[in-house]
Amino acid sequence: MAKIKYREILTNPYDPDEQVEIQASTEELFKKRREEQYKKWDLQQDKLENEQYVQEQQQRAYELTVQLKQRTESLYRLCYSNLNPLSPDSYIDEKVAMIKLPRRRVPTLDEAEVDVGINKLVKIAGIVPGKSKDRLKKLQDEAHELYKARLEKYHQKIEDDKEIYRKEREKELVQLTNHIEGLKEGRKTASNYYFSYALDRDDYSVNTKDRFHPEHSSIQYFQSDGEIKFSYRIPNGDEILTAAKYEYDAKKDTIIAVSRDRKTASRWKLRIAESVMLRATAIIFLSDHYSKVNTVSITGYLRYHDSAFGNEQKKKVIRMTMTREIFDMLSLESLDPYDLFSRVLNATISSGLYSKEPFAISEIN
């Protein structure tokens, strides 16, 4: 049996409490066993760190899924969540507040000094008594005069701005007051302005972060029967949140969104589109302070990029009409938009909406 000549107690660099004794009869064998032990510890640590990393990514995916479910729940409430109807008073206040005083930059002495020719070299040369110092003193006097003149001109412009601002506010206030009087009487132009603004100021999202910008056109109020008609953009399929959960993909080393199945996703997107149109309808009726609107008719359209034309196209895909009588019967908090549109409103919806590409959907008449 070979005599043991080399012996050492090794400490695990990743766990100081773990120690291993190695021994060998030759220096070469000793070095080999030593290297093997450290390599074994390295492999164990790599495996442990990898397991921890995977667990961290899985936990992150779980947290994102929880957030996703919360956001999805909020989209179930899209037709009524955070509705902010317009009132005549808020219409006037908000529109007048849009008129702002222009922001003007205050002139500075440093700028005046640069403009008359004072720089670092001139200032350094002016330290020594003589012509250079006299020249610096002269330039500084010129700079002060220039700065004083600019400051006086600045203050005069501020006063002029205030007067213009006052007149613009007075003019806008008169115009808006006339709009409200026209609204009371059910006049077409005043009603169009008022309800158009009510739709523009709405604020909501159909995914996890981006604001959906309300876009409408051709808003028309008909005094004879109290009907409002307009077109309203509904979201494209790729704008709508459709992920069901998040998972960690170990092969790609990334967290991926797992979408709903195609049929479920299409139904969900349609629900969101119907909720968007129902929300616009609610804005109109709830903003109708003087009860002049009896019916709201909306044509929902998609705006999408068509590669065949190389530009944006619009396509009318949903049409609905709701009376005030029906609206007053609704419970926005608990209704099902799909049932409402199909059974009560008998809405017209293009076949294949959200299950086909926009260019392949037939436009409604």
Clarify whether residues 60 and 140 are in a common domain.
no
Number of domains in the chain: 3
Q: Residue 190 falls within a domain, yes or no?
A: no
Q: Whole-prediction pTM value? A: 0.75
Residue 347 structure tokens: 């809405």
Considering only 8-22, 255-269, 324-338, which range has the smallest mean pLDDT?
Answer: 8-22
Angle CA(116)–CA(117)–CA(122) in degrees, nearest 5? Answer: 135
Give me the helix-helix angle, 131-185 and 188-200, nearest 10°: 120
Gap between the Cα atoms of 202 and 191, Å rounded? 17
Last residue in a domain, options 185, 219, 253 = 185
Clarify whether residues 58 and 136 are in a common domain.
no
Alpha-carbon torsion angle 63, 64, 69, 70, nearest 10: 80
Q: Residue 197 falls within a domain, yes or no?
A: no
Gap between the Cα atoms of 22 and 38, Å rounded? 11
Angle CA(150)–CA(154)–CA(160) in degrees, nearest 5? Answer: 145
Clarify whether residues 67 and 86 are in a common domain.
no
Clarify whether residues 347 and 235 are in a common domain.
yes
Q: Residue 15 falls within a domain, yes or no?
A: yes
Clarify whether residues 217 and 240 are in a common domain.
yes
Gap between the Cα atoms of 365 and 349, Å rounded? 11
Gap between the Cα atoms of 149 and 183, Å rounded? 50
Q: Which of 5, 13, 68 is nearest to 31 (CA)?
A: 5
Last residue in a domain, options 53, 76, 99 = 76
Clarify whether residues 210 and 331 are in a common domain.
yes
Clarify whether residues 92 and 164 are in a common domain.
yes
Clarify whether residues 224 and 349 are in a common domain.
yes
Clarify whether residues 181 and 319 are in a common domain.
no
If residue 314 lies in a helix (H) or strand (E), which one and from where to where?
strand 311-323
Gap between the Cα atoms of 317 and 236, Å rounded? 11
Gap between the Cα atoms of 232 and 210, Å rounded? 18
Gap between the Cα atoms of 357 and 238, Å rounded? 11
Q: Residue 191 falls within a domain, yes or no?
A: no
Q: Residue 331 falls within a domain, yes or no?
A: yes
Q: Which of 35, 43, 55 is nearest to 14 (CA)?
A: 43
Give me the helix-helix angle, 188-200 and 88-97, nearest 10°: 70
Tell me the pLDDT band of 180, cut-offs 50, 70 and 90: very high
Q: Residue 365 falls within a domain, yes or no?
A: no
Last residue in a domain, options 50, 76, 102 = 76
Angle CA(357)–CA(363)–CA(364) in degrees, nearest 5? Answer: 140
Clarify whether residues 107 and 220 are in a common domain.
no
Tell me the pLDDT band of 357, cut-offs 50, 70 and 90: very high
Answer whether residue 340 shows pLDDT above 90: yes
Domain carrying residue 323? 204-360
Answer whether residue 171 shows pLDDT above 60: yes
Q: Residue 329 falls within a domain, yes or no?
A: yes
Gap between the Cα atoms of 42 and 188, Å rounded? 79
Percent of the chain residues topping a pLDDT of 90: 57
Q: What is the pLDDT of residue 187?
A: 93
Q: Which of 103, 106, 92, 91 is nearest to 165 (CA)?
A: 103
Clarify whether residues 134 and 242 are in a common domain.
no
Clarify whether residues 228 and 323 are in a common domain.
yes
Residue with tokens 């938009």: 337
Alpha-carbon torsion angle 180, 329, 221, 278, nearest 10: 100
Residue 86 structure tokens: 């317009």
What's the mean pLDDT when you consider all of the chain?
Answer: 90
Answer whether residue 122 shows pLDDT above 60: yes
Q: Residue 297 falls within a domain, yes or no?
A: yes
Over the stretch 240-278, which tens digit does the pLDDT of each residue have?
988 989 998 877 778 899 988 989 999 999 999 999 999
Answer whether residue 1 shows pLDDT above 60: no
In angstroms, how far is the first alpha carbon of the chain from the final one?
99
Gap between the Cα atoms of 240 and 257, Å rounded? 14
Residue with tokens 């205030």: 162
